[in-house]
Amino acid sequence: MGCSFFRDKSGDYVPDDPPDMLYNEGLFLLNNKGDYKGAAKKFDEVDRQDPYSDWARKALLMSAYAYYQAEEYDDCVNSAKRYITLHPASPDAAYAQYLIGESYYDQILDVSRDQERATKAIDALQEVTRKYPQSEYAIAAQKKVAMARDQLAGKEMDIGRFYENRHDFVGAINRFKVVVTQYQTTRHVEEALERLSECYVALGIMDEAQTAAAVLGHNFPDSPWYKDAYNLVKNAGGQPTTENKGSWISRAFQKIGLASGPQSG
């Protein structure tokens, strides 16, 4: 592709800078000046001038990286998505996909706020492990997915506790149920089971209260939450080691192959 032109302040046409010069200027701003936004603009200019050249291919990925470093996450996502669209078979497509996930992950808010970005981070990072399982970014993506899932579970727990404190035990159970059925590998599942025991005892549904305590004890016997659930159910006249295998709580753990106790008689 030949050189393109633009008008300068005097109205005369002047040629664009060569793409290799723009690319190297971008690298200089990135590595020597720490000017991430300025570097990104240089890389973007390479892509604008000659979008199908090797220089543009490299510049587009560097643009995504520079925007990420500048915490311009939307621009990072846009550049990375464009890279994947134009160069899906490139070895660097895995990194571009990882940058998308990282951009969403770095914007995750505390559990009292909306968790849309956590969901987007999980979706984007799971694409790394699904499409590029052998890449060097797959393990890091898996770890970030686990942490983002923990965040979503924490959101459910936060809402569940709110409902329980208001004595809306059915609403609380629905939130704790999400943690038990969808986020069993997070650190919140132990508390969720204990909270279920509390809610079911409050509602007088001892069969489910016992099962929640029993499943908690079978899978997390050293958990302080189990001690609380055990004492709670015992003091309410129940049997905290008796599990009803037909309960949704028991089935949820059987589905993933975790330990279960004796069936209630």
Residue 245: CB partners within 8 Å, gap ≥ 6? 251, 254, 260, 263, 264
Give residue 228's pLDDT. Answer: 97
Q: What is the pLDDT of residues 145-198, one digit of tens each?
A: 999 999 999 999 999 999 999 999 999 999 999 999 999 999 999 999 999 999
**DSSP character for 81?**
H
Compute the CA torsion angle 234, 238, 243, 246 (nearest 10 deg): -150
Residue 109: CB partners within 8 Å, gap ≥ 6? 115, 117
- Give the pLDDT band (50/70/90) at residue 16: low
CB 119 within 8 A of CB 152: yes
Q: Residue 106 pLDDT > 90, yes or no?
A: yes
- Give the pLDDT band (50/70/90) at residue 109: confident
Q: Residue 11 pLDDT > 50, yes or no?
A: no
Give residue 114's pLDDT. Answer: 78
Q: Residue 17 pLDDT > 60, yes or no?
A: yes
Give residue 19's pLDDT. Answer: 86
**Coil vs helix vs strand at 6:** strand
Rounded distance, CA 59 to CA 71, Å? 18
pTM, entire model? 0.81
Mean pLDDT score of the chain: 90
Q: What is the pLDDT of residues 122-143, one digit of tens each?
A: 999 999 999 999 999 999 999 9
Q: Residue 72 pLDDT > 90, yes or no?
A: yes
List the structure tokens of 11: 């109205």
What would the mean pLDDT of 5-24 be, rounded to a whole number? 61
Q: Residue 227 pLDDT > 60, yes or no?
A: yes
Q: Residue 256 pLDDT > 50, yes or no?
A: yes
Q: Residue 108 pLDDT > 50, yes or no?
A: yes
Give residue 33's pLDDT. Answer: 87
Give residue 1's pLDDT. Answer: 39
- Give the pLDDT band (50/70/90) at residue 257: low
